[in-house]
Structure 1
Amino acid sequence: MIGSVFTSVDHDKFRALRITHLAARFEELIKDEANDAAAPEELFLTAVDEALELRRSIRIEKLIRQAKFPIPEASVAELNYPPGRSITPVRMKRYATHEWRADPTNLLIISPTGGGKTYLACAIGIAACHTE
């Protein structure tokens, strides 16, 4: 097995810059024989994209945890739209993609007991966390 591409000094620099995940993934890509034909720039940009996606997913998980949604697994995609409920997939998509930070609009959800108000509110809130 090939040793580390980076020295301990390099790893200290990565920690100081808070890019250890990026460096680790870049090193994995370099060591993978399947990537031998790829340019180093391609491998680096792949590692950057993956590190950004990891940071984004961590940030979303943190927002959802901080919001303390009673149903943290609620999803707009999992909603059903029975007739007479006065809610449509188009309307839910609009709520889910709304820029809540730029336009903090109030949303009033009215329904009888057991109508799914909490689930609906959680699903919209979680969708808002994903748009951040």
Structure 2
Amino acid sequence: MTGELEGREKWLWIYRTGLHGQCPRCGEGRMFRRWLKVSEHCEVCGLDYDFAAPDDGPAFFSLCFVAFPLLFLVVWFEVAANPPWWVHLFTSLPLMIVPCLLVLHPIKGWLVASQYVNKAQEAGTDALWAGLNARAKGKAASESDA
């Protein structure tokens, strides 16, 4: 499906599949087997998720676009109301933590879908990634035989 997408359609496909945690190839299978754990492959089309390496991207975007703006609200609350520390414990702390955790899953899905659709990887690393993945799969196979 993704081979013929260009421009706005490509962006909408990444957005829809990534934010909903669907397979970026077929749009039907699930990308995640647990909350932030990417599946090994799509159960519908068989896409191998070895390419998926969002690393610290979800945490970075969560902090930049969610935590940083909320920090202004928490500081304003402190300056305007000057509450005791325990009030911050029950208001500010959950206000900072919960939204940051809630957006991690959609952001990670969006990054994995973007990597697949845009065929993103570092330049000149094809052979290195192929060797690393072959070694990791060989090691996993030998451990399961033992």
TM-score by length of 1: 0.26
Which is bigger in relative contact order (C-alpha 8 A, separation at least 6)? 2
Of Structure 1 and Structure 2, the greater helix share is in 2
Structure of greater Rg: 1
